Amino acid sequence: MKKNVEIGCGNIVLEGNLTIPQDARGMVIFAHGSGSSRFSPRNVFVAEILNRASIATLLLDLLTPQEAMLEENRFDIGLLASRLDCSAQWLKGQEEAKGMKFGYFGASTGAAAAIRAASASDSVSAVVSRGGRPDRAGDDALQHLKCPTLLIVGGRDDIVLELNRKAFSKMHCSREMKIVPGATHLFEEEGALDAVAIESAHWFSRHLS
């Protein structure tokens, strides 16, 4: 099942693309990075691989088009995290998602929002960060994060790799870091995004089943 959805969060409406394969064993909500959208080809590709692994996905924009025009909104991790939580609460009320475990997939600043939202919830079962900025989630969120978390970083994304290593050392949850050799920040190198998708599918399959 594929459909476009509208999610009410306070006085605004978020738009998303929901895909639920047959026999779905879990649901992953995507949080894209600054300047991107639910149509990000990289996130769409990863979502398609998750769908093939019987994992449902919700690709959504955490800001309205008007909100996204303001740079401060795109980097407001608290705001983005609250929108993720709102979307998760909405999904739990949908008949087709009942009984599913939930996870977050975050890219760039979206990863910080995913970690912040997961750290404040007992109902998130797994997080994956792709080229993320977990440091932007804040030390408190990193230290209180309980669900299994996978950090995927490009081997040539030097600054982000170092930031992920520092964030990783502050986390106390079950966690792993996967470094994709030769990959830069957007994983544009041949086979790099495939590696991200495969690692993500394995992680979510393990923790959302």
Give the start-to-end residue ranges of the domains of the chain.
2-208
pLDDT in tens, the chain (209 residues): 999 999 999 899 999 999 999 999 899 999 987 767 788 888 999 999 999 999 999 999 999 888 888 888 888 999 999 999 999 999 999 998 888 999 999 999 999 999 999 999 999 999 999 999 999 999 999 999 999 999 999 999 999 999 999 999 999 999 999 999 999 999 999 999 999 999 999 999 999 98
pLDDT of the residue at 33? 74
Tokens of 156: 């040539």
pLDDT of the residue at 39? 80
Can you say whether the dihedral through the CA atoms of 107, 113, 118, 119 is positive or negative?
positive
Whose structure tokens read 């950090």?
A: 151
Torsions phi, psi for 97 (to 5 deg): -110, 0
Calculate the alpha carbon distances from 104 to 51, 53, 127 in Å.
14, 16, 5
Q: How many residues does the chain have?
A: 209
Q: Give the CA angle between residues 80, 194, 43 to the nearest 5°.
A: 25
Whose structure tokens read 């995927």?
A: 152
Superfamily of chain region 2-208: Alpha/Beta hydrolase fold, catalytic domain (3.40.50.1820)
State how far the Cα of 178 lies from the Cα of 176, in Å rounded to an integer: 7
Task: Report the candidate in 10, 9, 8, 6 with the shortest Cα–Cα distance to residue 18.
Answer: 6
Torsions phi, psi for 90 (to 5 deg): -60, -45
pLDDT of the residue at 70? 86
pLDDT of the residue at 87? 95
